[in-house]
Amino acid sequence: MRLLVTGGAGFIGSEFVRMTLREHPEDQVTVLDKLTYAGNERNLDPVRGDARFRFVQGDIADPAAVGPLARGCDTIVNFAAESHVDRSLEAPGQFIITDVYGTYVLLEAARAAGHPRYLQVSTDEVYGDVATGRSREGDPLRPRSPYSASKAGGEMLVQAYRASHGLPAIITRGSNTYGWYQYPEKIIPLFITNALEDRPLPIYGDGGAVRDYIFVEDHCRGIDLALRRGVPGEDYNIGAGREINGITVADTVLRLLDKPPSLKQYVSDRPGHDRRYALDSTKLRTLGWEPRIDVEKGMEMTVRWYVEHEEWWRPLKSGEFWAFYQRNYRTVTPLPGSGAG
């Protein structure tokens, strides 16, 4: 395959690129990434010297950047997105531009390039709050945050291009993903790095909201399988089926780092906070996928990675990171000397 991987300098995209080049020796990978605050070229250092790999800095919403790259590949995997719910609550505009309009630009480029295989990386958040049971692929999409609405908008366009233009597109809906190289704004890397710095761990509301966590390698193996063995036109859920709430995430991080429970700090809830996501991944399992890393092992590996890679995350927790943090966590008291005040 000659793959165009958009958003390949981010958390999950870079794992997918490293995995593809490792496990598919015939494949070539071009990454197109805008390098937003969440994109990090260093995530691709392990593949930098590989002759099958190329990096292009550019925007998926820019047809001039996307067109030639789409013509030069036979497969497009779209990871590029604004991805953080809290940021979408404050400033949704860029979410619409990248996650909806950017998807449209990619789809048009795919159409003009003669219909390469296309995979849209989406999220379980498009199903909205799931009080009971587990979401299946045919369930209605009921997004409730600007982030999940923009992801659902991107999906709707993919569905339209499948139906109207016969684009052989697959959509995957992954659950909350964690592991190495994750920008420290999502709960798990935020709590690990805050704990390492002896800062409070801000738990929203009562800490009872549940997510279905999956290790990043398992998520990427699911995308890889859906891409290679999935049926064009179909959607596939990718979730490990382990439901964990915010308090348990905090307790696990503190236990693994031998830090005191007093670092837990309850803060005002996220507006519109979805109480629960849970996926039924039977459809992908019937293709032969199953998660390999249970959450205990995955959390241990993730914590160890952040302990051993301070040079990766420390520079990210500066400047704009703290400006957003201060606005988002108004009820958190900065620790003296934290640099957050």
Active site residues per annotation: 124-125, 147
- In angstroms, the Cα distances linking 135 to 252, 280, 283, 311 are 26, 6, 12, 39
Q: Which does 246 bind (CB under 5 to 8 A by kind): ligand TYD, ligand NAD, none?
A: ligand TYD
317 contacts ligand TYD (rule: CB under 6 A): no
Q: Closest CB to ligand TYD among 107 and 278?
A: 278
* Residue 257 burial by Cβ neighbours in a 10 Å radius (0-12, 13-18, 19+): middle
Q: Which does 98 bind (CB under 5 to 8 A by kind): ligand NAD, ligand TYD, none?
A: ligand NAD
170 in Cβ contact with 160 (< 8 Å): no
Of 63, 49, 59, 54, nearest to 27 by C-alpha is 54
Residue 18 Cβ vs ligand NAD, minimum distance, rounded to whole Å: 13
Q: Closest CB to ligand NAD among 104 and 183?
A: 183
Residue 85 Cβ vs ligand NAD, minimum distance, rounded to whole Å: 10
DSSP 8-class letter at 223:
H
Q: Closest CB to ligand TYD among 2 and 144?
A: 144
187 contacts ligand TYD (rule: CB under 6 A): yes
Q: Which does 209 bind (CB under 5 to 8 A by kind): ligand NAD, ligand TYD, none?
A: ligand TYD
**Site for ligand NAD, rule CB under 6 A:** 6-7, 9-13, 32-36, 38-39, 59-61, 79-83, 98, 102, 121, 123, 151, 174, 176-177, 183
Residue 106 Cβ vs ligand TYD, minimum distance, rounded to whole Å: 22
DSSP 8-class letter at 276:
B
212 in Cβ contact with 242 (< 8 Å): yes
Q: Closest CB to ligand TYD among 161 and 180?
A: 180
Name the one residue in this structure whose structure tokens are 């998520």. 219
Q: Which does 283 bind (CB under 5 to 8 A by kind): ligand NAD, ligand TYD, none?
A: none
211 contacts ligand TYD (rule: CB under 6 A): yes
Q: Report how far residue 241's alpha carbon sits from residue 311's, in angstroms, rounded to the nearest whole number.
A: 33
CB-based burial, 47-79: b 16+ in 10 Å, e otherwise: beeeebbebeebbbbeeebbeebbeebebbbbb
Q: Which does 15 bind (CB under 5 to 8 A by kind): ligand NAD, ligand TYD, none?
A: none
Q: Report how far residue 246's alpha carbon sits from residue 202's, in angstroms, rounded to the nearest whole number.
A: 9
126 contacts ligand TYD (rule: CB under 6 A): no
Q: Report how far residue 8's alpha carbon sits from residue 42's, in angstroms, rounded to the nearest whole number.
A: 11
The size of the interface with ligand TYD (CB under 6 A), counted in residues, is: 12
